[in-house]
Amino acid sequence: MIIEDIIGYPLRDFPITAMRDNLLQWWILSGRRDFPWRETNDPFKVLIAEILLHRTKAEQIVPLYQPFLNQYPDIHSVAKSSPDELAKLLRSAGLNWRWKLLHSMAVNIETKFNGQIPRSFEELTSLPGVSHYIASAVRCFAFGYPDVLLDTNTVRVAGRLLKLPIRDASRRSKLFREVLEKFIDSKHPREFNFALIDLAAAICRPRSPAHKDCPVSRYCTFYQEASDEGQNSEKDKLPLKGDQQRLSITEAG
Ligand code: SF4
């Protein structure tokens, strides 16, 4: 099934530019969460952060990240690490079992890629512990490629904006990939992906999303329909976040 069949109008008629601009404006002005791994585009540091962050809360990784880089400043030092010492360091975040993955990933990078973090999706995903998400995150945050990041959080926001059915498998779905590829700001992919992640974490939460504080509520089908059904009488009080290119979904249909 194609997107148009589900949402009932061509995706190009969704006000993508306006939605994206408001998202980025919100993120720059107030939505940005600061994490040490966001201050660098060093491929090694980005890769380590993404491996540590996999299925782990960011707050858990903050105290571990800099000590890790102090002890293991490059891929060579991880490849040569002693399992005991690496596991001991990771234990502070409850991730001691992840030492094997990190070690074998580093050895692979040393032997297959001459110690350089590869850029291609295929090469990155050939490494132990590097999922599609991690490969895309490294490509985007380290190398600036406009790769989209599909996980339960980004899929939730995209799904709600277009009122697409969200399932467990959605983060692997072609349909959601296509939507996010249309949404991403190809000139500022890092910022767009950070903004989407931060919106999902702080505003478009799984439960009790903060629609009233949401910078893209005006474009959100889920919210509009809930408002139309009288489930949210605050809709008309929402501030317009100035954008002349805005179209309503009704106008677009
Ligand atoms: S309006 Fe609500 S449901 Fe829609 S994107 Fe914002 S927080 Fe999520």
| CB-CB contact of 131 with 139 (8 Å) | no
Alpha carbons within 13 angstroms on the beta-carbon side of residue 12 total 0
The preferred substitution site among 156, 160, 198, 221 for testing ligand 1, maximizing ligand atoms within 8 Å of CB, is 160
Predicted confidence band at 4 (pLDDT cuts at 50, 70, 90)? confident
Tell me how far apart the alpha carbons of residues 223 and 218 are, in angstroms, rounded to a whole number: 8
**Whether the predicted pLDDT of 28 surpasses 60:** yes
Atom of ligand 1 nearest to the CA of 210: 7
pLDDT of residue 198: 98
Ligand 1 atom 1, closest CA: 217
- Closest to 2 measured CA to CA, from 182, 149, 150, 147: 182
In short, whether 45's Cβ falls inside 6 Å of ligand 1 is no
In short, whether 211's Cβ falls inside 6 Å of ligand 1 is yes
Domains and CATH numbers, the chain: 3-33+148-252 (1.10.1670.10), 42-143 (1.10.340.30)
Cα separation of the two ends of the chain: 19
The preferred substitution site among 204, 205, 221 for testing ligand 1, maximizing ligand atoms within 8 Å of CB, is 204
Q: Note if the pTM is more than 0.85.
A: yes
pLDDT in tens, 157-172: 999 999 999 998 999 9
